[in-house]
Every structure is written in C-alpha cells, then in structure tokens.
Structure 1
Amino acid sequence: MNTVRTASPRTARALNDRFALDLLADHGPLTANQLKQAMGLSRPTVADLLQRLADRGLVAVVGESGAVRRGPNARLYGLVASRAHIAAVDVRTHSVAFAVTDLAGRDVTEVTLPVDPTRPAAHLVESAVAALDETLRGAGVRTLHTLAVGAPGLVDPATGELSRAGGLPDWHGLLVAALREHLPARVLLDNEVNLAGVAELRTGAARDRDTFVLVWLGHGVGAAVILDGRLRRGSSGGTGEIGFLPVPGTAGLPTATACDGGFHSLAASSAVCALAREHGLATSGEDDAAAAEEVLRAAVTGGATGFLDELAGRIAVGAAAVASVLDPGCVVLGGEVGRAGGKELASRVGSRLAELSPLRTEVLAGTVEGSPVLRGAVVTALDAARDDVFATD
C-alpha cells in the first residue's frame, strides 16, 4: 500500500518563503497580488509570508505600483539586497578581473587588473588582493559574504585546492590561498571553463537546456559538461580536460604533463593563429588568444571560407569525441575563438560533425556577454549566498 506524504506546515512555509525570495531576486519588486498569482497561493497566505520575510529583514516595501486603485496590494515589495554582498574573480595569465554585487545580483561593479606574469609571484598576489580590497571599498561593501574564483587548472573536489598540472603559474594557487586567508568570507574555487559553462546554462546559449557541453577554445582548450542540469567534475576534477584528448593530425600523443599532442594542438589559439597564417591571413600581437579572436572576426567578415572550413573540421573532431561518449545533444562553442567565430563557425562545425557522428548534436555559439567566467562566478557565488541567507532555522 502506497502512502502519500505531504509537507508539514513548517516545511511548506519554508518552501513558499524561498520561492517568494527567488521571485523577488529574479524579477525585482512585486505586489502582493503578483506574488499571489505567480505562486498560486491565497491572499492571506501571501500576507503572512510577506510579514515573516519582513520580520527577518529580507523583504521591505520599496514603493507602489502604478495601479489606479490604491490599497495594500498596490505596495511593491522588494528584496533587501544589501543583506549580503558577493564577489567574483576571473584569474587569467595576463589579468585578474573582479565583480562585486549585492544579493539581487543587479548593480554589478567590475574592475580588471592587468598582470605582468614576469613579475614575482608575491608581487602579483599582493597587487591582486589590494585591487579586490579597493573594488570592495569603491562599491561601498564592508563585509563580503561569498567569493567565487575561476582559474585554469584542476580543482580537487575533495580538498578544493588548485592543481598546478600543465605548467600553470605559481601565483594562481598562491592568490587563492591569500584570498582565503585575507577575507572573512567563504571562498569557492572552480575551473574557469566550468564557470563559463554555468553562465551559458543560466544566462546564455543553453539556458533552455539541461544537458550540453561547452567546448572552450582559447589560450587553452577545455570543456564544461552539464548533464541533467548539473555540472559534472569527475573524481579528480578533470571532467572536460579535452585538451589532452589524442586526435589524428598532431605530431604525437599528449603526456601527463603536456597536451602538445592532443586536441589542444589543433584548436587552441596558438594553433588557430598558425592555421590562419597558412591560409595567408595576417595575425598580430603577443597574446595568441587576442590574435586568434581578431583573425576569426576578420575571417568571418571577409569570407575566408578555406580557413573557416579547415578550422571547423578540426573542432568537429573534438566535438565528435565528446558526442560519442556523452551524447549531449548540444555543443556550445566558447572562448575567444568560439565567441569570434559566432554562428558562422558554429554552423560549419555542426555540418562537419554531422558527417562524423551518427548522433544528432546541435552546435551553437556562446552568447554570454562580457566575461563568461566572471558571469559564472557571480552566479555561483549568488547561489551559495542566497542558500545561506534565505535559509530558515
């Protein structure tokens, strides 16, 4: 005999409170009647809910709607977003970017600190921590609740530590350690491509999907694997390290310490620049990622079909391997190359992939504005902070 279990009144109240807070965080101020309609609750239940949240200092009356008839339902209730602030950090070889926002996630302050990787690691770490402090002061933030950091490399799920595998700069790990010691806040660390995948899931090209793979094509090559709405990291944090994927057309095989013989050798920004030069396209600048982005945009605008077709064929090899193992149904192209190639490159990769794999796989270009890594870090920090602040006793 099956027993139907219903939520206790206390549990039901907690669920309704969280639903209302999420609505106010995502949509901004709402009237009691709008909350009633969105939540499917009675007027008295919504009134009690709003009083509970006001007593907890999470909701306040912030104005009135434009309704002709004035009354209690015309009051606009908003989230007290100043209850907590979060920050996000995107650590790169030549820069560190910061974002600071309140619990609503709307008024975002962003600052980018250029980095000279030839300087001593201690100097770089000190400069980055000072820049974050200055950003917080500029945003009027005295206490930080949660900080999310995105950095290249493997993040051990058990320890939360950043691995130096692949010759990553020492100062990356030192910076994370310094932030944890310096800030009276929870510090979350994840691989930067994983955070970019979270951004595409929540606000980008894959926001209407729960299963896809983001293939990151930039200075490095990697992937974020989202299955059933969850980011998958693997036992050692190495899910998506497709730069080490052995593929035909390279000089040899990758090793445990170098991905020179892997997919990285075909699709990383340095390889894209070399391929462009083979096709007679000029590249400039010392930063391969920026140069690859520039040459891709020029190729798309100028109709450099030979270059685009060959590059699409290379990318399709890696995408086919991903599809054959995971069958995600969708691959999103991100990073500097994926962003610059846009729909034109994605379409060519999709056509070539259809020839290589019997599995139907849509290929899309990433659409997150600005830094996808920073956006994903903001989303991650906001989720963690809201889970804590919105929780009931």
Structure 2
Amino acid sequence: MIWEDPGMPASPSTARAINDRLALRLLQQEGPLTAGQLKQLTGLSRPTVADLVERLTAAGLVSVVGESGEQRRGPNARLYGIVADRAQLAALDVRTESVSVVVSDLLGAELARASLPIADDTGTGPAVEQAVTLVERTAKEAGAERLHTVGIGAPGLIDPASGELRDSSGLPAWHRRLVAALQERLPARVLVENETNLAALAEQRDGAARDRDTFVLLWLGHGTGAAVVLDGALRRGASGGTGEIGFLPVPGTRTLPSATDCEGGFHSLAGAAAVAALAAEHGLAAESAAHEPHAAALVRAAVAAPGDSGPVRFLDALADRLAIGAASVIAVLDPGCVVLGGEVGQAGGDALATRVEERLRRMSPLPTEVRASTLGGGAVLRGALLTARDGAQDELFAAPGSAAGRDLL
C-alpha cells in the first residue's frame, strides 16, 4: 500500500483512514478474512494490518466471526468480518399505484420485505401515511430500531443540484410528500434516485450488464424510460432528464409529444398499454401475476408459444417498435450494449432481445449487443438497496473512530 511510503505527502491520520477504508472494502467484497489474507491483499505490513484490525474492532465495525480451516487455531487463524448489524438500511420502490420496501443489514442481507397497493383515489395525506407506516412496520419486523440510510427509487426527474424529486406531470402528488415525510419521521438519511437509473445500477452490479462499463438500459414496464451509463458513470443530464425516452418523437404514432404529455412519443409504441393493445391485435391473452404489468404476462406467453403464428408476429412487431427507440439512442451515444429492462424486458428474454438486435444491425452501422434484463422489475428495489448500502458504508467507513463513526447508531 503506497501510503506506507514515507515519501508520500500523507499525514499518519490520513494514511490510517485510507488503509482502514481499503480493508473494509475488501471485507465487504470478499467476506471474512484473516489478518494474513488482509496483508496479502492490501500489500500492507503485518504491524500495519494488526493496528488497523484493532482500530476497526474498537470502532465496532469489525469483529471475529470464526477461524480459518486452513490455519492452526490461534490469533493467526481468526477470521475478521464486518459487523453486519452495525447499521440497518431500507430501500423503497415507489410506483404510481404501490410501494415496496425491503430492510437489510449493512452488508445488504435482507431482513424483511413488504409491499402495499395504493389506490388511484387515495388522497395525498392518506397515501403518504400508508407508505410511511409500511416502512416503519417493516423496519420493526426486521428488528431495526433505527434505520441508518433509506434509498428510494421513484419515477420522475431528480434535481441534479438538490437531489430532490422534482414536480412532474402525471405523477401522484404523494410521491414528493413521501420523501419529506420519511425525513421527518425517521432518524435516517434519505437518498432519492430515478427508478430507471437505479435499475441500471442493479443490472450493472448484479444483472445483465455486469461486464459492461458503457451501456443503455431501456426500461419497459408500466411506462418507458432509459438510463445511460458511460465509462462506468451514470449520466443524468443538465436537468436530471437523461433517458426520458418516452418523449422521443418516433414514426408510427398519430401525434407528437408535448412538454407535459408523452402521448405520441416512444411511450405510445412501447408503454404497457401500447404493448397490450398490440398483443390484442394478434389475438394474444394471458393471466397477469400480482404487481406485474399485464404487458409482461402477454410477452411471456408469446415467448412460451413460439410455434404459433400469432405470438411470433406479435414478438416481431414489438421488436420493430423497440428498435425504433433504441436506434435513436445508439446513433447519439454508441453504447455498444442495450439492456431491455423492466418486467417486459425480462419477460421477453433472449427471444425478444435477439429480434431487436437483428433489427438494429440492419438499421445502424454501430455494432450493438442487445441483452434481456435478468432482474426485471425487481431491479429498482435492488438498485435502491445498493444505493443505501453504498451511502451508509461511505459514511461508516470514512473514518472509523472519528466522531462521525461513533455517533451513527
């Protein structure tokens, strides 16, 4: 580790903080490790590793969780792991008609999960109260007396300057009120991000884009959206609106979108209602699962019946539509990879992804791989949890032993 080099302009306290953070990140990524394994992975000296283990243990971030089977019993065999219950986290997926929540420990292990439908005619105040109560009840069920960080995925634009959910036409008023209510009722830091951006984060960490640092996620659920990841960084745009592909003017619609309504844009071709109407034109029907867009069930049924002419024609027609929106994105960004996300993208699987890729190959000179989501609609909740975990770990791991580290719980 270069911070042991006396020629580097780092104070002892800075070097210790960086070494501690490095060790904690390794424990988070690799799981429990012995002091010898930490020495090998970090390149630090044995005394330095011994000191940092002592500091992290005293700060309540690390503890002995067992002994290595490959070593003799004794101090050298002790396995050190992050204290998972050092902090509890919550993640929310806020949809127009429902809220889902998961509570986890500091390492992301799920402790409790719940969801709640919220009817269209529910007033703003009652809707907010139902959602906040759901979070509090789920946290109590998980044994989390005090949540450290809450990550929220919501439709709409996130102000890049303030990090707050902006007013958006067509979205329930309780969405914005919910964030403020959680901040008031919970002794926790609340982080808000656009749902499609969180889905892209989840697909990159745990899903279809694990090997890509540049890609576009095309969200296909109740609505449409896109998330752009370039060189490993999520791009939000000047106003936080990168990826509002539902407003993209496309051929095949009867009108043009406006500043307040995406009707006539790509949403009119690929939104859930449009997909369901397209399926009806081809004589398709299917039973939907709970909390799943009917469009996803229709696509899944078509994929399961590839020998019938109706389902084949439906998938071909849907691929034609998706390729129109994807081609526009590719022409501007050249991402090299497009992930068909959301419930519909996951339902379409390789059958739909292959069709879209074939059409893009004919439409664009830029080579682009098309992949189906492996996380589907669950990507938003997973991305919100990853965001909460990263935020909590950044704060907890920043300076173990400092006042910030001591006073978090």
What's the TM-score once normalised by structure 1's chain length? Answer: 0.94
The separation in 2 between residues aligned to 1:381 and 1:241, in whole angstroms, is 24
Does structure 1 residue 111 correspond to structure 2 residue 99? no
Q: Alpha carbons of 1:308 and 1:103: their partners in 2 closer, same or farther (altered >3 Å)?
A: same
Does structure 1 residue 390 correspond to structure 2 residue 392? no
Shift in Å, 1:272: 0.6
Q: Alpha carbons of 1:365 and 1:285: their partners in 2 closer, same or farther (altered >3 Å)?
A: closer
Do 1:276 and 1:283's aligned partners in 2 also have CA atoms closer than 8 Å? no
Aligned partner of 2:248 among 238, 245, 248: 245
Aligned partner of 2:16 among 13, 16, 28: 13
**What secondary structure is seen at the aligned counterpart in 2 of 1:110?**
strand
The separation in 1 between residues aligned to 2:365 and 2:186, in whole angstroms, is 51
- Which one is further off, 154-163 or 372-381? 154-163
RMSD of aligned residue pairs (Cα, Å): 2.0
Shift in Å, 1:78: 1.0
Moved over 6 A (4+): 285-288
Do 2:217 and 2:228's aligned partners in 1 also have CA atoms closer than 8 Å? yes
- The answer for the alignment partner of 1:339 in structure 2 is 346
Aligned pairs (5 A) from 1:375-386:
375-386=382-393
Aligned pairs (5 A) from 1:1-393:
6=8, 8=10, 9-67=12-70, 69-283=72-286, 290-303=293-306, 304-368=311-375, 371-392=378-399, 393=402
Q: Percent identity?
A: 62
Do 2:345 and 2:376's aligned partners in 1 also have CA atoms closer than 8 Å? no
- Which one is further off, 259-268 or 366-375? 366-375
Amino acid at match of 1:211: T
Do 1:50 and 1:59's aligned partners in 2 also have CA atoms closer than 8 Å? yes
Shift in Å, 1:130: 0.9
The separation in 1 between residues aligned to 2:277 and 2:67, in whole angstroms, is 60
Shift in Å, 1:10: 3.8
**What secondary structure is seen at the aligned counterpart in 2 of 1:163?**
coil
Segments of 5+ residues of structure 1 without an aligned counterpart are: none
Shift in Å, 1:287: 9.0
Deviations 1:132-189 (A, max 9, x none): 1111111111111111111111111223332332311111112122112211211111
Deviations 1:320-374 (A, max 9, x none): 1111111111111111110100111111111111111111111111112761101
Do 2:128 and 2:178's aligned partners in 1 also have CA atoms closer than 8 Å? yes
Do 1:250 and 1:261's aligned partners in 2 also have CA atoms closer than 8 Å? yes
**What secondary structure is seen at the aligned counterpart in 1 of 2:293?**
helix
**What secondary structure is seen at the aligned counterpart in 2 of 1:190?**
strand
The separation in 1 between residues aligned to 2:215 and 2:128, in whole angstroms, is 35
- Which one is further off, 103-112 or 353-362? 103-112
The separation in 2 between residues aligned to 1:284 and 1:205, in whole angstroms, is 27
Q: Alpha carbons of 1:110 and 1:216: their partners in 2 closer, same or farther (altered >3 Å)?
A: same
Shift in Å, 1:289: 5.4
The separation in 2 between residues aligned to 1:169 and 1:286, in whole angstroms, is 24
Do 1:270 and 1:288's aligned partners in 2 also have CA atoms closer than 8 Å? no
Q: Alpha carbons of 1:270 and 1:284: their partners in 2 closer, same or farther (altered >3 Å)?
A: farther
Do 1:89 and 1:148's aligned partners in 2 also have CA atoms closer than 8 Å? yes
Amino acid at match of 2:179: V
Amino acid at match of 1:58: L
Do 2:253 and 2:269's aligned partners in 1 also have CA atoms closer than 8 Å? yes
Do 1:196 and 1:375's aligned partners in 2 also have CA atoms closer than 8 Å? yes
- How many residue pairs were aligned? 390
Do 1:269 and 1:288's aligned partners in 2 also have CA atoms closer than 8 Å? no
Q: Alpha carbons of 1:106 and 1:284: their partners in 2 closer, same or farther (altered >3 Å)?
A: closer
Do 1:194 and 1:224's aligned partners in 2 also have CA atoms closer than 8 Å? yes
**What secondary structure is seen at the aligned counterpart in 2 of 1:302?**
coil
- The answer for the alignment partner of 2:406 in structure 1 is none
Do 2:343 and 2:376's aligned partners in 1 also have CA atoms closer than 8 Å? no
Do 1:333 and 1:339's aligned partners in 2 also have CA atoms closer than 8 Å? yes
Q: Alpha carbons of 1:68 and 1:198: their partners in 2 closer, same or farther (altered >3 Å)?
A: closer
Amino acid at match of 2:258: T
The separation in 1 between residues aligned to 2:133 and 2:78, in whole angstroms, is 42
The separation in 1 between residues aligned to 2:396 and 2:134, in whole angstroms, is 27
The separation in 1 between residues aligned to 2:8 and 2:250, in whole angstroms, is 54
**What secondary structure is seen at the aligned counterpart in 1 of 2:147?**
coil
